[in-house]
Structure 1
């Protein structure tokens, strides 16, 4: 009987160690290097993100892509005319963006004469509102 208890304790210990090693490995894989801190220019008003967006908005020649070049195929298509597969392409890009990138992406597709599918407009607003 003591032999069985000893073997059981040994097996539980080994399983525990294996699980801890896997958990630590997973934590190390998900760690990201710290983002580089960029100091705004001395003439910045303190609303850096707003100023940056306003500057981009004023310069209509600036078009930034977000790994969404395939959406250029939907230029000049009405927001109500998309198929479910096409809507999913937009949704896939939308949900891979960081919250602070969404408004820039919306401006980008607007400048490329691409209309966001109507069904995704509320989703985009909701995502932008997340903090």
Structure 2
């Protein structure tokens, strides 16, 4: 039980450090991005419109350098091994905050269930936006 608590504590510390590093890297990257004016017919809700368009087109599947996750098609969210969970976590923490919801939709369309333990981490990362 003590080993489990230590593992859990180390996991949370690791997640915290990764989130801070991801947030710091995200801020640095946004300073270097070129600003492009939106089209004249734009409503101003780019992320919402893009996400709605992607949701409507169910045949569209976008990959986020995560093709290896296709091996986990139709596996229950509670059946993953620690190594498999780490593969998902590695992809999750390399995504930009605004890409996470698109990635979740992508893996859902590929019939891949996100490991149950990563759902709260994904929500936490999306909330940072």
With normalisation by structure 2, the TM-score equals 0.74
Number of corresponding residues: 102
Q: Which runs of 5+ in 1 are unaligned?
A: 1-29
The change in CA–CA distance for 1:115 and 1:31 in structure 2 (over 3 A counts) is: closer
Q: Which residue of 2 aligns with 1:127?
A: 125
CA apart distance, 1:32? 8.6
Q: Which runs of 5+ in 2 are unaligned?
A: 1-27
Out of 45, 67, 73, the residue aligned to residue 71 of structure 2 is 73
With normalisation by structure 1, the TM-score equals 0.72
Q: Which runs of 4+ in 1 moved over 3 A?
A: 30-33
Q: Deviations over 1:34-55 (max 9, x none)?
A: 2122322222111111111100
Larger relative CO (CA 8 A, sep 6+): 1 or 2? Answer: 2
Rg comparison, structure with higher value: 1
Q: Which residue of 2 aligns with 1:52?
A: 50
